[in-house]
């Protein structure tokens, strides 16, 4: 790592050569009030020109007292500059890295070191409600792409010195700032150490979104089930930290990661804790029911239609047979095609402009569906079954990928073995979930070893006065103490 030279011209020439191909690089030479030459270097758009002008250039040009050469950098930072954060650096590589991060570098004549001024001035999107996590009742703020601002939003929720925020730099080219947030008294030291180790083992050119980290640090990397939580809401992150979890923030993305992530969290809504516990419990039970319906309804209907016709009531069997009259495809092909079309419609609706979503629903759901039934390309009964399955799946968006593969897998098993195939598929699913781990915590906790306190926030959301403990993986289980009556 090259050292800075005592010669002012050499240092300025070296830093300019590093950024010679960068059109955003700015440097200005000027004369201080005591007659020495100085130069300020920064990247336009990364550092604030106003902060540099008012906090660095103006006070240097107005200073008239001649400092001694021996303590030039110290005297300048402590007695002349108005900037709030100033550090000294004598290595060229470190100076370049700080400039890339938004700092301004000040070079003074006869000084073998650079003063790095924190003058970040890049714009952010500002506080907005996340579109994918909107709530009917509760906070309306969401993270933006500047991680330090997202961290400040968490600090406003948790105003305690117990909140730790450790910074790492990941990415050979991107040099992305990544923050680990946790509450020192609640998070397991083993969990924090494990997460740091996994992050430090990452060697990649750049991190542009936290999903890069998600796929590189998660357990069960090839599983369709999430083992790392994602959210854009500071209140959700604060709630996770209060349960002993660790959050990961990264510059350039509003999405935060939380670990460990349990299977029961897929059925929890952000506003479950902001509405009456009766309504929240009903919604949560419906989500569990919809998960079972969305993966099993097409498979069960196909199994009854192809292998177990005697189990169907006579009128229902005759009705189903009547709707299939003239359909050229088998029930299995018909079911798989409809599932595929449903996924295409969902993906198109998510990617297309928002104002065209209603048009897509009318055309895809009514016009095309009705035309397909009248043309005898699909049966009305199978269309209804797949539609009910698709609507149920919308209740649990966090399990979208898992639902698709489970639905198709159960349909294939049902076509092969009938109802025993459905039971086999569900059994394999339970075995898989039981063996899944998220950062040392069983994925089905607390369902696999239920306790009275553990299940009070799983299938139901009981009143806050009843939830006295945190999740079992926490180092401090006591959430609140029951008042003596």
Domain map (residue ranges) of the chain: 8-117, 131-261, 287-438
3-state secondary structure of 31: strand
CB-CB contact of 273 with 280 (8 Å): yes
User: What's residue 45's pLDDT?
Assistant: 81
Tell me if the bond preceding 446 is cis, omega within 30° of 0: yes
CB-CB contact of 444 with 461 (8 Å): no
DSSP 232: S
Helices (H) and strands (E) in the chain, counts: 17, 12
From the number of C-beta atoms within 10 Å of its C-beta (0-12, 13-18, 19+), residue 242 rates as middle
For residue 263, the number of C-alpha atoms closer than 13 Å in the C-beta half-sphere is 23
Burial 358-373 (b: 16+ CB within 10 A, else e): eeeeeebeeeebeebb
Two tokens, residue 142: 């969401």
Q: C-alpha distances in angstroms, 189 versus 24, 200, 441?
A: 43, 16, 14
Two tokens, residue 429: 């699913």
Place of tokens 């029930």: 331
Reference 41, options 110, 112, 98, 82; nearest CA is: 98
Backbone torsions φ then ψ of 118, nearest 5 degrees: -75, 100
- Secondary structure, 3-state, 328-358: CCCHHHHHHHHHHHHHHHHHHHHHCCHHHHH
Per-residue pLDDT tens listing for the chain (485 residues)? 577 877 888 888 888 888 888 888 888 888 888 888 889 999 888 888 888 888 888 888 888 776 665 677 788 888 888 877 888 888 888 888 888 888 899 988 878 888 898 888 766 677 778 877 877 788 888 888 888 888 888 998 888 888 998 999 999 888 888 999 999 888 888 999 999 999 999 999 989 999 999 999 998 888 889 999 999 999 999 999 998 899 999 998 999 999 999 998 999 888 888 888 888 889 899 999 999 999 999 999 999 888 888 887 777 777 777 766 777 778 888 889 888 888 887 877 777 766 666 556 656 665 666 767 766 777 888 888 888 898 898 889 889 889 999 999 999 999 999 999 999 999 999 999 998 899 888 898 887 777 777 778 888 888 887 887 777 777 667 777 665 54
Two tokens, residue 225: 């089930």
Q: Report the C-alpha gap between 371 and 218 in whole angstroms.
A: 45
Two tokens, residue 360: 């897509």
Beta strands in 153-266 (DSSP E): 163-170, 176-183, 229-231, 246-250, 256-259
């Amino acid at each position: 790592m090259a050292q800075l030279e005592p010669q002012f011209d050499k240092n300025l020439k070296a830093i300019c050569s590093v950024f010679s191909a960068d059109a955003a690089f700015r440097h200005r030479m000027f004369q201080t009030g005591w007659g020495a030459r100085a130069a300020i270097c920064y990247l336009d758009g990364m550092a604030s020109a106003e902060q540099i002008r008012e906090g660095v250039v103006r006070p240097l040009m107005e200073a008239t007292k001649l400092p001694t050469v021996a303590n030039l950098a110290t005297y300048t930072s402590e007695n002349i500059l108005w900037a709030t954060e100033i550090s000294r650096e004598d290595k060229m590589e470190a100076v370049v890295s700080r400039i890339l991060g938004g700092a301004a570098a000040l070079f003074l004549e006869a000084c073998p070191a650079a003063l790095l001024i924190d003058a970040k001035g890049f714009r952010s999107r500002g506080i907005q409600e996340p579109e994918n996590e909107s709530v009917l009742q509760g906070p309306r703020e969401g993270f933006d792409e500047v991680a330090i601002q997202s961290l400040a939003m968490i600090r406003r929720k948790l105003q305690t010195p117990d909140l730790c925020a450790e910074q790492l730099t990941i990415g050979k080219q991107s040099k992305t700032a990544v923050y680990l947030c946790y509450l020192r008294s609640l998070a397991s030291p083993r969990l924090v150490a494990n997460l740091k180790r996994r992050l430090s083992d990452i060697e990649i050119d750049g991190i542009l979104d936290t999903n890069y980290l998600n796929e590189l640090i998660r357990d069960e990397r090839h599983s369709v089930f999430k083992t790392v939580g994602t959210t854009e809401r500071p209140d959700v992150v604060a709630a996770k930290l209060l349960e002993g979890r660790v959050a990961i923030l990264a510059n350039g993305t509003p999405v935060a990661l939380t670990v460990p992530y349990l299977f029961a969290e897929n059925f929890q809504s952000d506003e479950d804790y902001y509405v009456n516990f009766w309504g929240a419990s009903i919604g949560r039970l419906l989500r569990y029911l919809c998960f079972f319906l969305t993966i099993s309804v097409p498979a069960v209907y196909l199994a009854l239609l192809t292998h177990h016709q005697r189990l169907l009531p006579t009128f229902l069997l005759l009705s189903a047979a009547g709707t299939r009259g003239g359909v050229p495809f088998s029930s299995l092909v018909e079911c798989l095609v409809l599932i595929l079309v449903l996924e295409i419609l969902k993906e198109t609706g998510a990617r297309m402009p928002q104002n065209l979503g209603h048009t897509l629903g009318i055309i895809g759901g009514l016009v095309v569906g009705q035309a397909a039934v009248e043309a005898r390309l699909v049966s009305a009964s199978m269309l209804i079954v797949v539609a009910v399955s698709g609507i149920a799946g919308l209740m649990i968006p966090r399990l979208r990928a898992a639902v698709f593969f489970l639905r198709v897998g159960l349909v294939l098993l049902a076509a092969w073995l009938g109802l025993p195939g459905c039971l086999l598929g569900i059994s394999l699913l339970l075995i898989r979930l039981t063996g899944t781990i998220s950062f040392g915590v069983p994925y089905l906790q607390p369902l696999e070893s239920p306790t009275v306190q553990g299940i009070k926030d799983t299938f139901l959301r009981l009143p806050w006065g009843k939830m006295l403990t945190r999740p079992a993986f926490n180092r401090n289980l006591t959430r609140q103490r029951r008042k003596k009556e």
